[in-house]
Structure 1
């Protein structure tokens, strides 16, 4: 499988699959690790599973794993004992009958993501809808299109314009948030008064193959609240006017955490959203402070704000999508959010405030492992301890057997395990929603995780401290 050049994902060296502040290349040949994982999975025999209703076939092995074809290629074997759920389209997914699991295409292991997305649809597609998100300033349009084509189990395809990169006076972004290649891939990021700017933002998403368009999503300034709100919603209305018949567009908001954590700002924001009833889909990116990669927020005020936003959207029949939120977004399913997103890197788990950290030369990447039973990501050495605790349930995903047999630690398989496990958790919320809806399902999962995690022999960095905050919030 041919690998593409690394993409300029700004800020990934802050919260990547490594210790905070590590260089992306320190001590590890990451490309080599991806090659190992890719080789193992692409060596799998080509196989296809029929979709329910006779609507096509899902590739579950070989180079095209994760894609859907209308007819079997000549000579291709078919697995006839099982089937995969029929695909749902964009509009059906946005009705909210199933939670939406957004998978972000980042710089790492992008070619492997369709495999795990197909695996999730095959095994869990009755209880979740899958979406694919790619960032326009980070990769060429052709590669985004190829990603969307292979990830054809995705009911939603979103090409995020990331116009918030223009707002480094409002957000805490890394230095030079718009680099040379970002200008090349997303020319609309050049500061300009061009009257065609909005057309460029929308047309770039269409060219990438998106089926859910986004308004620009410039950052809302809490220090100039009303003017910022007015400008953002005026621009959103103009973008809505540019849509063609059959297209759908989401109100794209980028907000510092203060907008949800501070009562007066939160009320103003929610009142404005309530008035924007021309938008039935919201795509809300929230920036908050984070001190440890892959750890959900413990900020009670922010969690209350996310809860209020989710409640509002549920009450008003709006589809709320929370990109780049990881476990925090999963938690929001309890309160009315329709979907959330994550990816391989720390920056795809949380849109964190940038903090400069000096890299430590020669330090190895952290060997992280997501423990579904704890709702927490821990070090692999801590996993070895936890796995000996009575009542521990081993993960049954397709990636863990190879993950624990391989040396050195295969970061790609660890990432795929994480994504699959979060997708399975998302499906479980729907599966167990018969008693108390999704709120009841999340409450039971969190309570069980907190009981089981209590007293585990782990260091402070591996303890799931967020569970007590969540338990109270539920």
Structure 2
């Protein structure tokens, strides 16, 4: 997977570049795909029936990932497998399967429904998929199209990203709201208007979201009570604007101090406990910048995430942790309902902006997610690891084409990463009969620690999070 070294919080999402308004287009996806990925996508169309007999899942070709009610003329149907029926929104949130949210970003986005369909076909009995798109980052029609093709997603979330208004609280890049964001999300220009909340909700409805979010303004740790009061008042007002059949999640954006500091954490958790009108929480956490794709090793923050997840599971609330990558996967052990990730580093962790001098001509690092190690490493390290005793080759459909392609295909590496994290999520459910999710995650982490301890690791490839996780488990 493309792994870019320490970057600004969302620096590898092109909509956040400081010169975003000079771009004539957000991204030319054709230039990002690579010949190997295009050849793979050109596979023959094929369909598998759903278990409930109510439609077919496309598992090959350009429409892979979509569910159709009737077979297109001339298409082939698998006679040796079926796919699970797509769960309803409410069943997804109340069910025992973990929720795996796939974030639509600027890179390789048109491949995401493909890998989501693949995951649903092969792992859909052990996980539930969700699709997330950021309203300020793409045209409404593009987001709607993404939701329509990724029809295996039980949850469709259109994130309003109103935290972009809070650059005095969060560490965001300069000019977090540019011309393009205002064009795509005009509500960001008018937070003081009387009907602002309705604008935020309507923008989500317009693209087909089925789980609405409250605005998600950032909570200020330097003015905790007033910030909490304002956020929950706004959330209550948004809840009052929902219509019959709609469901809204309490959406909060919190700097890591809210969870790492005992006093702030207790205040936040007490407030959440009192807000029993919200049974779904969507909480985005900003933590300190680290190496791209690396989970946080802040033990205090991990303890805070654990306490938050414990509270939610004890109170029967569904906790979704967007933009958390492996850290969110780890939180499944403590009661989180689901977590999210995407292709770029900014979709793996919502980290604080850190200035980085540009390096013209710098090539994308060739990175590969080692599921057995729970870590992303350099491709050259993978070439060594695969000959180590006990190494298990990845069996995803993307790896053969990835390692046969020259040059390295970043899109295929991304698909491998997203599929592998989905497989890990499903594995937590599959192994949870022996002691629940906590025990399942603990066993997976213990195996990763034992296997990686004897490997010849360069400093950039050491999974520093594993010892911290081991202590937390």
Give your verdict on TM over 0.5: yes
In structure 2, the residue matched to 1:322 is: 321
Q: Is the 8 A contact 1:163 1:216 kept in 2?
A: yes
Deviations 1:61-110 (A, max 9, x none): 11110000011012211112111111111000001310000000000011
In structure 2, the residue matched to 1:422 is: 421
Distance 1:261 1:15, change over 3 A: farther
- Aligned partners of 2:31, 2:215: CA distance in 1, in Å? 37
Q: CA deviation at 1:223?
A: 0.2
Helix, strand or coil: the match of 1:443?
helix
- Aligned partners of 1:10, 1:166: CA distance in 2, in Å? 18
Note the 1:225-244 alignment, pairs <5 A. Answer: 225-244=224-243
In structure 2, the residue matched to 1:469 is: 468
Helix, strand or coil: the match of 1:367?
strand
In structure 1, the residue matched to 2:61 is: 62
Helix, strand or coil: the match of 2:80?
coil
- Alignment TM-score, normalising by the size of structure 2: 0.94
Deviations 1:165-214 (A, max 9, x none): 00000000000000101000000001442101000000000001000000
Given the alignment, which residue of 13, 18, 21 partners 2:11? Answer: 13
Q: CA deviation at 1:13?
A: 3.0
- Aligned partners of 1:374, 1:259: CA distance in 2, in Å? 30
In structure 1, the residue matched to 2:286 is: 287
Q: Is the 8 A contact 2:204 2:212 kept in 1?
A: yes
Q: CA deviation at 1:42?
A: 2.8
Helix, strand or coil: the match of 1:260?
helix
Q: Is the 8 A contact 1:254 1:284 kept in 2?
A: yes
In structure 2, the residue matched to 1:169 is: 168
In structure 1, the residue matched to 2:383 is: 384
In structure 2, the residue matched to 1:103 is: 102
- Aligned partners of 1:336, 1:411: CA distance in 2, in Å? 33
Distance 1:308 1:418, change over 3 A: same
Q: CA deviation at 1:41?
A: 2.8
Q: Is the 8 A contact 1:15 1:293 kept in 2?
A: no
In structure 2, the residue matched to 1:6 is: none
Q: CA deviation at 1:460?
A: 1.2
- Aligned partners of 1:144, 1:281: CA distance in 2, in Å? 23
- Aligned partners of 1:421, 1:154: CA distance in 2, in Å? 17
Q: CA deviation at 1:331?
A: 0.1
Q: How many correspondences in the alignment?
A: 455
Note the 1:28-427 alignment, pairs <5 A. Answer: 31-427=30-426
Helix, strand or coil: the match of 2:40?
helix
Q: Is the 8 A contact 1:369 1:380 kept in 2?
A: yes
Q: Which runs of 5+ in 2 are unaligned?
A: 1-6, 15-22
Q: CA deviation at 1:11?
A: 4.9
- Aligned partners of 2:139, 2:373: CA distance in 1, in Å? 38
Helix, strand or coil: the match of 1:130?
strand
Q: Is the 8 A contact 1:96 1:338 kept in 2?
A: no
Q: Is the 8 A contact 1:33 1:410 kept in 2?
A: no
Q: Is the 8 A contact 1:162 1:217 kept in 2?
A: yes
Q: Is the 8 A contact 1:321 1:339 kept in 2?
A: yes
- Aligned partners of 1:379, 1:209: CA distance in 2, in Å? 38
Q: CA deviation at 1:131?
A: 0.1
Helix, strand or coil: the match of 2:101?
strand
Q: Is the 8 A contact 1:14 1:354 kept in 2?
A: no
Helix, strand or coil: the match of 1:94?
helix
Q: CA deviation at 1:10?
A: 8.7
Q: Which runs of 5+ in 1 are unaligned?
A: 1-8, 17-23
Q: CA deviation at 1:130?
A: 0.1
- RMSD of Structure 2 on Structure 1 (CA): 1.5
Q: CA deviation at 1:218?
A: 0.2
- Aligned partners of 1:222, 1:72: CA distance in 2, in Å? 54
Deviations 1:331-381 (A, max 9, x none): 000000000000000000000100000012222111010000000000000
Q: CA deviation at 1:116?
A: 0.1
Helix, strand or coil: the match of 1:229?
helix
Helix, strand or coil: the match of 1:310?
helix
- Aligned partners of 1:212, 1:62: CA distance in 2, in Å? 29
- Aligned partners of 2:254, 2:370: CA distance in 1, in Å? 30
Q: Is the 8 A contact 1:214 1:251 kept in 2?
A: yes
Helix, strand or coil: the match of 1:321?
strand
In structure 2, the residue matched to 1:19 is: none
- Aligned partners of 1:282, 1:89: CA distance in 2, in Å? 18
Helix, strand or coil: the match of 1:305?
helix
In structure 1, the residue matched to 2:449 is: 450
Q: Is the 8 A contact 2:116 2:150 kept in 1?
A: yes
Distance 1:14 1:117, change over 3 A: closer
Helix, strand or coil: the match of 1:360?
coil
Q: CA deviation at 1:455?
A: 2.4
- Aligned partners of 2:29, 2:184: CA distance in 1, in Å? 24
In structure 1, the residue matched to 2:3 is: none
- Aligned partners of 2:229, 2:130: CA distance in 1, in Å? 30
